[in-house]
Structure 1
Amino acid sequence: MQVGVFAKTFAGSEPAGVLAAVRDAGFAVTQFNLACAGLPSMPDAAPEETIRTIDAAAKTTGICLVALSGTYNMAHPDSRVRNDGLRRLAVVIETAAKLSIPLVTLCTGTRNAEDQWAHHPDNVDPSAWADMAREMEKALHLAEHHGVDLGIEPEQANIVTSAADAMRLIAEMGSKRLRIVLDPANLFEQANPEAARIIVAAAVERTAAHVSLAHAKDRFADGRFATAGQGVVDFADFIARLKATGFDGPLVTHGLSAEEAPGVARFLKGLV
């Protein structure tokens, strides 16, 4: 299991500097974001020169790019917004293929038109799932063409809120290219350590063999997000259960400051 971090944890828009910071903080891999190369996260285009610069920086620093962010609101109530997001996702998927990045991470979306990470009561309406599923079918067509996997993350504010939802979507799509990003802190909102452990354990068991990337974010008991190791998530148990399923992929932390990064790297490497 390789320990990594979101590249956006570190300031900068030059890949060499950002990836050097990832390395110097003690990480071996990263989930990259095109904003770290001076582009929008979801750009209209990715110039070949930029792609070469990212590739050179990864090789120079020895940091492996294990995922690329491709998040847009796949359940936005305005189809024009969804269409624009899909157009930009195509750019991200093609870029991932050129950089040999195996996974593009997605956001299954929300009916909240202002914030793709914010809950909306209409998320439970069947039309929201249907819109997201149609979007996912189109995204998977792009992914299959380029040989890249797509990662969905159960997230309380989004359409796919649970491990069960993620498995339902995988079954509906029928594509081996659709994978799961499992973040224990996104599987619940408020919980004590024992309740959190039970929820996370059940999710790991439910998604076994479908997880390509694990995230390491934490929550306090009152629901606020926390740096890994500071909240109610039992990371030793989470990691042990992932290993028991045969998972040996990247464990990538986020939701922390650059100053906290070296300490979190030591904490997670001590567990894996």
Structure 2
Amino acid sequence: MTELGVFARVFPSGPADAVAASIRAAGFTATQLNLSALGRPTLDSTLTRQEAADIGAAFTDAGVRIWGLSGTFNAIHPAEAIREHAVDACMAIIRRAPDLGAQVVTLSTGTQDPDNMWRAHPGNTTPYAWMLLRATLDILVPQAAAVGVRLGIEPEPGNVVRDAPDAARLLKELGDDARHLAIVLDPANLLTVDTANDQERILAHAFDTLGSSTAAVHAKDVVASGYAAPGTGALDYDLVFRLHAALPEPVPIIAQDLVADDAPRVYDFLCTHANRYRGRS
């Protein structure tokens, strides 16, 4: 059965046991945890090993697996001091990920926009931006390797790694170190309402190119204004689940861009599609 998860920050912020209970009550059995969902900074460098273990235990007791932990920051922020401070804080989060039970620490590959790390910038396509990303990863990858987690890279249209070819390039350049990276594949990131008619070709290429490195598939939808909850836009979820079922290894599908009240509907929507591919364990 396909493992279905949801972003923890979809639900009201609170203690770990309460957030985990809300996730499980909506039907989901996995989560991508941002510490902000627990009232802490995303990059909380003060998190102790015991606190992390207690959080992990609370989710486990509720029947929810912490698949991934958000270590999100602007990896190529144009201000060196800001970037270096964030890298140090992310290092601390990576060290705590195993105590939480997380397999992956998710990153943003960043943008040269200093104010919004999801907004595209002309500088993102320059060799300098790519060099900054590689320099950031050169610091983070050894830490991830040391504690046995992978760094999640998600192709995002506003970031340096914009699409599947960029992600494939990064994996190839990293060589043996690429085993410490994991692709978080979000089909909606690769589409707009204008390209939705061509989504079979676009998404099939992405899954084929990145499938062997994919550790999770995100689920949101494509609408004229950008993104929305799964099942409310132009994304072909039959196609997504068919491509997901053909991946070399089973990986969770993690829902995002929804609100808490809509979580049970989203779970039922995803579950309906997953059941059509029940043969995949």
Query: What is the match of residue 233 of structure 1?
Result: 235
Q: CA deviation at 1:145?
A: 0.9
Please give the residue correspondences for 1:185-204 in structure 2 after superposition, counting only pairs within 5 Å: 185-204=188-207
Q: CA deviation at 1:59?
A: 2.3
Q: CA deviation at 1:47?
A: 2.5
Amino acid in the other structure paired with 2:221? D
Q: Give distance in 2, aligned partners of 1:225 and 1:36.
A: 21
Query: What is the match of residue 138 of structure 1?
Result: 139
Q: Percent identity?
A: 34
Query: What is the match of residue 279 of structure 2?
Result: none
Unaligned runs of 5+ in 1: none
1:217 aligns with 2:220: yes
CA contact (8 A) 2:49 2:96 kept: no
Deviations 1:191-249, CA, capped at 9 Å, x for gaps: 253223321121111112110011001111x3521211111111111111121122411
Please give the residue correspondences for 1:1-272 in structure 2 after superposition, counting only pairs within 5 Å: 1-174=2-175, 175=177, 176-220=179-223, 222-272=224-274
Root-mean-square deviation (CA, aligned residues, Å) is 1.3
Structure 1 outlier segments of 4+, above 6 Å: none
TM-score normalised by structure 2 residue count: 0.93
Q: Give distance in 1, aligned partners of 2:115 and 2:251.
A: 33
CA contact (8 A) 2:98 2:147 kept: yes
2:6 is paired with a residue whose SS is strand
Unaligned runs of 5+ in 2: 275-281
CA contact (8 A) 1:189 1:223 kept: no
CA contact (8 A) 1:28 1:63 kept: yes
Q: CA deviation at 1:49?
A: 4.2
1:70 is paired with a residue whose SS is strand
Amino acid in the other structure paired with 1:13? G
Q: Give distance in 2, aligned partners of 1:156 and 1:249.
A: 23
CA contact (8 A) 2:8 2:37 kept: yes
CA contact (8 A) 1:72 1:109 kept: yes
Q: Give distance in 2, aligned partners of 1:55 and 1:27.
A: 16
Query: What is the match of residue 278 of structure 2?
Result: none
Q: Give distance in 1, aligned partners of 2:269 and 2:89.
A: 36
Amino acid in the other structure paired with 1:241? L
1:145 is paired with a residue whose SS is helix
Deviations 1:165-204, CA, capped at 9 Å, x for gaps: 0011111112101110000111133425322332112111
Of residues 186-195 and 154-163 in structure 1, the stretch that sits farther from structure 2 once superposed is 186-195
Q: CA deviation at 1:112?
A: 0.3
Q: CA deviation at 1:55?
A: 2.0
CA contact (8 A) 1:110 1:158 kept: yes
Q: Give distance in 2, aligned partners of 1:201 and 1:139.
A: 30
Q: Give distance in 1, aligned partners of 2:12 and 2:193.
A: 31
Q: Give distance in 2, aligned partners of 1:243 and 1:219.
A: 21
CA contact (8 A) 1:229 1:267 kept: yes
Amino acid in the other structure paired with 1:208? G
Q: Flag the 1:229–1:247 CA change in 2: closer, same or farther, 3 A.
A: farther
CA contact (8 A) 2:105 2:151 kept: yes
TM-score normalised by structure 1 residue count: 0.96
Q: Give distance in 1, aligned partners of 2:152 and 2:82.
A: 21
